[in-house]
A and B are shown apart, each in its own frame.
Chain A
Amino acid sequence: MMALYALVLLPLVGAAAAWLAGRASPRAPWPVAVATLVLLAALLAYITWAVPAGGGPWLAHASAPWIPALGITLRCDMDGLGLVLLWLTVVLSFPCVLLASRDITDTPGTFHALLLATIAGVDGVFIATDLFLFFFFWELMLVPLYVLITVWGHEDRTRAAFKFFLFTQGSGLLMLLSILGLAFVHQQQTGILTFDYFALATTHLSPVLAMGLMLGFFVAFAVKLPVVPLHVWLPDTHTQAPTAGSVLLAGVLLKTGGYGLIRFVVLLFPDAAIRFAPVALALGALGILYGAWLSLVQDDIKRLIAYSSVSHLGFVLLGVFSASPLGVAGAVVQMVAHGLSTGALFVIAGALQDRLHTRDLRRMGGLWPALPHLSATGLVFAIASLGLPGLGNFVGEFLVLLATWRISPPIAILGAAGLVLSALYALTMVGRAFLGPPPGDGWPALPDFGARHMAVLGAAMALLLALGLYPQPVLDLSLPAPLLHSALPHAALTGGPRP
């Protein structure tokens, strides 16, 4: 199905169009970007609709030769997990474009082009099943985002963008080593040099080797997710990125880490992953607590949200390494919910900065009367972020903790303790920004959220609510494809021996 390629090509074409439009008029790129996104959504809807009923876990395929001499192909396959994350990408790109990027005045054509190019790269990551192709997209999606941050970011953008790029690229090189190592071991065993995901999954690996290769993947994804000792790029980057960049980073880019952990670390190296699980679980719990703890003491609102991301994504790590479908489903729901809630929080933080010209919570307070709509949405998403049952985040966290409890109650208890801390920082943020008395002699008249913002954020809220109350469609999609009925003939995640 060529439509899969179109998922990557369409945003690229849109990017080119937006850039060209930007040369014509500074007002032109925005509608072009919106139109591209609408088309992309329509395309994805078509792909979703065109999935043959009962056609197995892999919903769509595409393949074409790329570098035949090295066995590299343009192979793309989409399963439910990919589909969910693709939808998340498309859905979250709407707030980026509709809310954040319209007010860009500095070469808007380039801005929108880069935004769309990032989306193209992310789309590619979610569908590529040739490991080299995956790596290509993995590295590709960083570049436009780097430029976005460097040019349109806030005061300390250079350093932040540097850190972001170096961390992700550096860890990506480790993943490259692992990809190549796996391919060569496979070549030794079969005589065929290939980077095909399904072929490589059948490689027999000694325990030591499997662990080494898995760690290469793990580090790359752990940086992206992020996992705690490797998270240091994230607060800076999220803080300094322009609003659209922050939304895209938190909402979508981090999810590529979780996706990679599920798709590659756990499924390609099930045994090694199980042996590694204690460490990963400990790291996950550490991330939950450490992120929440540091989130609490931040004065910069975007930094606070960034650390809260670290905390939330610790749950994803727990879920992925809990070695059960329950945990993986929880991790996916958590990723989607975190994308929606944190993305919205970044929109709100960006709007605050636009209005107040500061992100410092010490200089905020008492904004509710001045900006009732903005404050109310801020409160709502903060509550979602602290994991209130009935909203999507809770479903994810609960499933993850349930899966974790089965293998390690102490880790699950630590994770549950993270819920207390998340309440602490979320409510502290709300309290410091919106409640209390205003500083000095009150706020001047500030423009509140208009219908556009309320509609988009309301839609995000509705999705979170739907995810919280009826997550079954996402659970059904995210779960079976890669884990139970995958094309791989091994008992993934069950710890069973490989055939």
Chain B
Amino acid sequence: MLALLPPLIVLCPLAAAAILLLSAGRMPPPAARLLAAGAVGLAAALTLWLAVRFLSAPPPAHRLDVVLWHWLRVGGFDARIAFTLDPLSLVMMLVVTGVGFLIHLYACGYMRGDPDVARFFACMTLFVAAMLVLVLSSDLLCLYVGWEGVGLCSYLLIGFWYAEAANGVAARKAFIVTRIGDAALLCGLLLLATRTGGLEIAGVLRSIQPGGPVAEAAAALLLGGALAKSAQAPFQVWLPDAMAGPTPVSALIHAATMVTAGVYLIARLHPLFLAAPAVMTAIAVLGLVTLLLAAGSALAQTDIKRILAFSTISQLGYMFLALGTGAWGAAIFHLVTHAVFKALLFMAAGAVILRVHHQQDIFRMGGLGRAMPGVFAAFAAGAAALAGLPLVTAGFYSKEAILQQAWRAGPVLWAGALLGAFLTALYISRCVFIVFLGPVRTAPTGRTEASMAIPLAGLSVLALTGGLIEMPDAIAPVHLLFRLLAPVLGPPTTEGAEGGAGVLLLAGALAPLAGIAVAWGLWRPRAGAPAPADDGLARAARAGWGFDAAYGLLLVRPFLALGWLNRRDLFDRVPDLLAAATRWGARLLGRMQDGQVRRYAGWIAAGTVAALCLAVRP
């Protein structure tokens, strides 16, 4: 019975997607909305039920394998479509279906009036299904199906408003940049499959030799996939542009779920990464670098969704930092809380955007707190959680878990992470102050409808209280999540219970407060209209530190230019040359036949003489 549930949960959104696709736009929008939200809601309900059943009576070894069918079985290679239910996948499922359901609900309101709502929901539900496959798979190849599937849905949804050429470009960019990582991931799979004989996760992990070059190479290749999917340096360039999609898409795909797939992958395969210490270091360093770069960029943005996008990159950097330091549980914890509060922030931002006529520039907004207090409250809750306001927000606890682990790994990492926490508070406070306080610059109209308000309210509560399931020992020894995940990720590290824990905790609590204070000093409501900083540093930060330009100059342009030069295909000239030679020969021979009978006789004589000479020559 329990074994039936995971496939069923996948099937719910998948069936909805299939129906929506096959109806080919003939379905009335209300029916489409109902179908999509209902299917994902059903999946969420089933997942809850599954979770209850799983937790109340855990199966042996805390895992449940469901083999659906043999996918490829040839030449000694065997891949199966198979699911594994264990605490890690259960947590991910809860995030995907739970947050996913709320976002679908929200989207019902947000996308009202769009003629193509069936296509929208088809892609959304397909995404949920693919994401569920990703987190449930017990075989890496099967996981790859979900991995690419979510990428495809991301592409389709970023470019949802296709009439705008820029949206299509952004969608393509997102897909192709992640595809580069996917290729690396695929190479990693090839390596693992060659070395270990299969891609079943448990089997792969069993047969890993620690410290060997294979483990290092495989981990590095898989890391490539994870970095691209999770928009970490040097692949982070696609995520800000991906904000071209509708806001629910940004909330679901580019904040809550898909971009965390890289984190999930590494957590899932953590024994492999443990066997590759160099890669672990790279993960931590890249995570930290991304965290700081993106936070700096977020500070200089003017578009509210781009602020949140850079914030997402930055927060994912936290997760990678955690992964790099071996804090798998902390990474997953932050993944969960981030999914909640970032989805909340995006949806609140979406509500704002809808009310101010699709204005996204924060410097054209202002004073919206009075006009839409509910949305303001929701955004503030999300911002507080993001900033990590001590004790009262979920983000505080998850970030604290990471900071502690970073301290253990090295003070430099810890200092960087602390700086990141300060910057996070700074930029999100800037956003809140400019958008919701001060004078009104764009008058909002309409009102936020219930289907959007309910998810906002629900997520607000979660964003504030969700962290209580897991607390630092210095506050209260609550370890619900880590203990749940322990069968998969190993027991939580306890060596951190040394003397300095309290000091660390204090530092971690003060950094966001300092950030908020500085932000208040800089961007508190004043008389004059606030303007974005425009010095060189700000411009560089706003442009994402020039990664886009560098890639364009070094890779894309030369590639396209060379292709353009060779668009007629060099090899195609060879037959032309041969044809020309043949024509030339034909003309020559034609000229020999000039109609003069004496010359013909001359050729005969010449031929004879030549033959005689040839014969006489020894």
Contacts and interface: CB of A to CB of B under 8 A. Distances in A.
Interface in A446-499: 469-472, 475, 479
B363 to A, nearest CB: 28
Interface residues of B, number: 53
B174 to A, nearest CB: 10
A45 B242 CA distance: 49
Interface in A132-177: 163, 166-167
Interface in A304-331: 324-326, 329
Classify the interface of chain B: helix, strand, loop or mixed: helix
Interface string A214-240: 000000000000001101110110000
Interface stretch (B44-52, B243-251, B455-463, B559-567): B559-567
Given A389-B148, A419-B186, A229 B571 contact: yes
B392 to A, nearest CB: 43
Nearest to A166: B575
Interface stretch (A31-39, A46-54, A251-259, A409-417): A409-417
B567 A298 contact: yes
B474 interface: no
Contacts of A329: 74-75
Classify the interface of chain A: helix, strand, loop or mixed: helix
Contacts of B491: none
B200 interface: no
Contacts of A383: 152
Contact of B187 (A297, A412, A475): A412
A436 B193 contact: no
A209 interface: no
Nearest to B567: A297
B175 A427 contact: yes
A372 B574 CA distance: 42
A403 B75 CA distance: 9
A428 interface: yes
A423 interface: yes
Nearest to A432: B168
B87 interface: no
Contacts of A475: 72-74
A163 B575 contact: yes
Given A325-B74, A398-B141, A469 B81 contact: yes
Interface in B64-80: 69-77
Contacts of A436: 162-165, 168
A446 to B, nearest CB: 16
Identify the interface centre among A376, A383, A390, A401: most chain B CB within 10 Å of its CB.
A390
A401 B190 contact: yes
A399 interface: yes
Interface residues of A, number: 60
A325 B74 CA distance: 7
A403 to B, nearest CB: 7
Contacts of A389: 141, 144-145, 147-149
Interface stretch (B103-111, B177-185, B278-286, B429-437): B177-185
Identify the interface centre among B24, B183, B571: most chain A CB within 10 Å of its CB.
B183
B563 A417 contact: no
Contacts of B81: 469
Nearest to A418: B183
19 contacts: A231-B571, A232-B569, A294-B569, A325-B75, A329-B74, A366-B162, A383-B152, A402-B77, A405-B193, A406-B194, A416-B183, A419-B183, A420-B183, A423-B175, A427-B171, A427-B172, A427-B175, A437-B163, A472-B71
Interface of B: 24-25, 69-77, 81, 141, 144-145, 147-149, 152, 155, 159, 162-165, 168-169, 171-172, 175-176, 179-180, 182-184, 186-187, 190-191, 193-194, 559-560, 563-564, 566-567, 569, 571-572, 574-575
Given A419-B183, A424-B172, A475-B72, 11 more contacts: A368-B162, A389-B141, A389-B147, A398-B72, A399-B77, A412-B187, A416-B187, A420-B182, A427-B171, A431-B159, A431-B172
Interface of A: 163, 166-167, 228-229, 231-233, 235-236, 293-294, 296-298, 324-326, 329, 366, 368-369, 372-373, 376, 383, 388-390, 394-395, 398-399, 401-403, 405-406, 409, 412-413, 416-417, 419-420, 423-424, 427-428, 431, 434-437, 469-472, 475, 479
